[in-house]
Amino acid sequence: MAVPKPKPSDSPRIYYHHLPPEDRPQNYVIILPNHSSTHRRRQRQRIILCTTTLLLAASVIYLLWPSDPYLSIVRLHLDRLKIRTRPLPCLDITLDLIVKVRNRDFYSIDYDSLTVAVGYRGKQLGFITSDNGHVKARGSSYINATLVLDGVGILSDVIFLLEDLAKGSVPIDTVTQVRGQLGLFFFEFPLNAKVSCEVYVNTHNQTVFRQNCYPE
């Protein structure tokens, strides 16, 4: 017995389509401003600016701040040295000096007077005063002076002087003082510098072979 073939169905056909693949998820990077790092950077910049300003101000003050001139005896020539015993022991002495005034500032010096006092073993023998002068900025000036002393009493120091003459070295005390003005632009500052020196004179060649100076 034959099996009957099934009849084609009259119902509509249904077609299935593949769904499109879903989009893959994407990663997004969001950069937020770092307020802490910005604050530290600005703080460092302010510190650097303040430090630079202070250094510049300190340099300007250092360069413009008035300083005393450097004074020294560059030459002391003993022209005459004579001891007299009558009526009382006394000393006749003639000294030729060259004083160096060195200006260490960046502005000029106008001095009214330069005084050099000469002594022996703490006792002043005499002094000399020069006229006014001018020393340019960062420059030097040399001043010649001659001190003539006759009949200086040395009764208490005559023994020490004889000993020094026998050694060939006489210590002489000098006090050099400068009075004047420092000229900075349109301003003037008073100047009063003093330096003391202990000068050792060789009595054989009448020259200075050592000196120790210190400001007062």
**In the beta sheet, which residues pair with residue 84?**
90
Both 50 and 144 in one domain: the answer is no
Asked whether residue 90 is assigned to any structural domain, the reply reads yes
**Residues 137 and 49 reside in one and the same domain:** no
Q: Which of these, 207, 197, 212, lies nearest to 169 by C-alpha position? A: 207
Domain shared by 209 and 172, yes or no: yes
**What CA–CA distance (Å, rounded) separates 160 from 86?**
18
Query: Is residue 16 situated within a structural domain?
Result: no
58 falls in which pLDDT band (50, 70, 90)?
confident
Q: Same structural domain for residues 52 and 148?
A: no
What are the residues facing 177 on neighbouring strands? 115, 194
Asked if the structure places residue 60 within a domain, the reply is yes
Average pLDDT over residues 184-190: 67
User: Does 53 fall in a domain?
Assistant: yes
**Which residues touch 175 (CB under 8 Å, ≥6 apart)?**
116, 117, 119, 194, 195, 196, 197, 216
Judge if 93 and 144 occupy the same domain.
yes
Do 53 and 131 have their domain in common? no
Residue 56: its H or E element:
helix 35-64
Least confident of 17-21, 53-57, 173-177: 17-21
Pair (45, 93) in one structural domain: no
Q: Is residue 188, in this structure, part of any structural domain at all?
A: yes
User: Which residue type, as a one-letter code, is found at position 158?
Assistant: V
Do residues 175 and 117 share a domain? yes
CA 39 from centre of chain: 39
Give yes or no for residue 187 having a pLDDT over 70: no
Helix (H, G, I), strand (E, B) or coil at 64: helix
- Domain of 204 in residue numbering reads as 70-215
Q: Do 149 and 49 share a domain, yes or no?
A: no
Residue 10 forms part of a structural domain: no
Q: In this structure, are 163 and 202 located in the same domain?
A: yes
pTM of the predicted structure, to 2 decimals? 0.61
Q: Please give the tally of structural domains in the chain.
A: 2
What integer is the mean pLDDT of 31-50? 75
- What counts of helices (H) and strands (E) characterise the chain? 2, 9
Domain assignment of residue 99, yes or no: yes
At 59-68, the pLDDT tens digits run 766 666 767 7
Residues 72 and 175: their CA atoms lie apart, in Å, by 10
**pLDDT surpasses 80 at 32:** no
pLDDT (0 to 100) of residue 61: 65
Q: Residue 151 is part of a domain; what is its CATH number?
A: 2.60.40
Which of 50, 65, 80 is at the close of a domain? 65
194 inside domain = yes
The pLDDT of residue 16 is 52
Residues 81, 170 within the same domain: yes
> pLDDT of 76-127, one tens digit each?
777 777 777 777 777 788 888 888 888 888 778 888 888 888 888 888 888 8
| Domain endpoint, select from 14, 44, 65 | 65
Q: Please indicate, yes or no, whether residues 130 and 176 belong to a single structural domain of this protein.
A: yes
Last residue in a domain, options 65, 86, 116: 65
47-73 burial, b at 16+ Cβ within 10 Å, e below that, comes to eeeeeeeeeeeeeeeeeeeeebbebbb
pLDDT at position 33 is: 59
Q: Quick one: pLDDT at residue 39?
A: 72
In the prediction, which pLDDT does 143 show? 85
pLDDT band, residue 29 (cuts 50/70/90)? low
